Amino acid sequence: MDVFDAINGRRSVREFKPDPIEEDDLRRILNAGRAAPSAGNCQPLELVVVKEQTVKRLLASAAYGQTFIAEAPVVVVVCANVVRTARRYGKRGEELYCIQDTAAATINMMLAAYALGYGTCWVGAFDEGDVARAIRAPAGIRPLAIVPLGRPAEKPAPPPRIPLEKIVHKNVFGQRA
Binding site for ligand FMN (CB under 6 A): 11-12, 14, 66, 121-125, 156, 159
* Distances, alpha carbon 56 to alpha carbons 61, 148, 175, in Å: 9, 9, 48
* Distances, alpha carbon 13 to alpha carbons 36, 131, 148, 156, in Å: 22, 21, 9, 7
Q: How far is the CB of 7 from ligand FMN (least distance, A)?
A: 10
Please give the residue whose beta carbon sits closest to ligand FMN in the complex: 124
- Give whichever of 9 and 40 is closer to ligand FMN, judged by the CB atom: 9
- At residue 157, the 3 state secondary structure works out as coil
CB count within 10 Å of CB 18 equals 10
Closest CA to 81 of 105, 57, 107: 105
Q: How far is the CB of 174 from ligand FMN (least distance, A)?
A: 28
Run of H or E including 45: strand 45-50
Phi, psi of 86 (to 5 degrees): -65, -35
- Give whichever of 89 and 122 is closer to ligand FMN, judged by the CB atom: 122
Q: How far is the CB of 18 from ligand FMN (least distance, A)?
A: 19
- Give whichever of 14 and 56 is closer to ligand FMN, judged by the CB atom: 14
Calpha distance 120→100 (Å, rounded): 19
- Give whichever of 90 and 124 is closer to ligand FMN, judged by the CB atom: 124
Q: How far is the CB of 121 from ligand FMN (least distance, A)?
A: 5
- Give whichever of 90 and 156 is closer to ligand FMN, judged by the CB atom: 156
Calpha distance 45→31 (Å, rounded): 11
Q: How far is the CB of 103 from ligand FMN (least distance, A)?
A: 7
